[in-house]
């Protein structure tokens, strides 16, 4: 009887990491790409999930930024050929613009 109980206990311990891994596995975030060219963000509007990342890549000659109008986040200056990224952990709508070219605007909707 003790050997059988011990075997059950050992089998339970062996499966515990698998049970815990399934319980704690988080959704891997997706990276969404936005190109900056011709003084525009493309696409300008995105709907993403919490935990996703947006990566802005400058394809134009002028330097740009993608700055949240609410000052929650900023990419910093993105020069030609370079990128800036922001990971969105909370739901909400985020309007952004280029600080060098304020007519350049976009929106990220996080669900």
Angle among Cα 39, 93, 90 to the nearest 5 degrees reads 120
Task: Please check whether residue 66 is in contact with residue 86, taking contact to mean a CB–CB distance below 8 angstroms.
Answer: yes
Any domain includes 47: yes
Q: Measured between alpha carbons, how far is 111 from 89 in angstroms, rounded to an integer? A: 10
How far is CA 56 from each of CA 4, 26, 41, 80, rounded to the nearest angstrom? 60, 25, 8, 11
* Residue 16 maps to a domain: no
What is the reported pLDDT for 16? 53
Q: What is the pLDDT of residue 94?
A: 97
Instruction: Per-residue pLDDT tens, the chain, 111 aa: give them.
Output: 666 655 665 665 565 554 444 444 566 899 999 999 999 999 999 999 999 999 999 999 999 999 999 999 999 999 999 999 999 999 999 999 999 999 999 999 999
Question: Residue 36's pLDDT is what?
Answer: 98
Domain contains 3? no
Domain of 88?
A: 31-110
Q: Provide the CATH number for the domain around residue 95.
A: 2.60.40.420
pLDDT, residue 99, reads 97
């Amino acid at each position: 009887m003790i050997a059988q109980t011990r075997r059950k206990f050992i089998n339970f311990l062996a499966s515990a990491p698998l049970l815990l891994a399934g319980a704690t596995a988080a959704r891997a975030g997706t990276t969404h790409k936005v190109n900056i060219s011709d003084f525009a963000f493309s696409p300008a509007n995105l709907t993403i999930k919490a935990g996703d990342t947006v990566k802005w890549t400058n394809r134009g000659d002028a330097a740009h930024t993608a700055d949240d109008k609410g000052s929650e986040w900023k990419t910093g200056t993105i020069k030609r050929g370079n990128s800036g990224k922001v990971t969105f952990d909370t739901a909400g709508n985020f309007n952004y613009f280029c600080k060098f070219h304020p007519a350049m605007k976009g929106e990220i909707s996080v669900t």
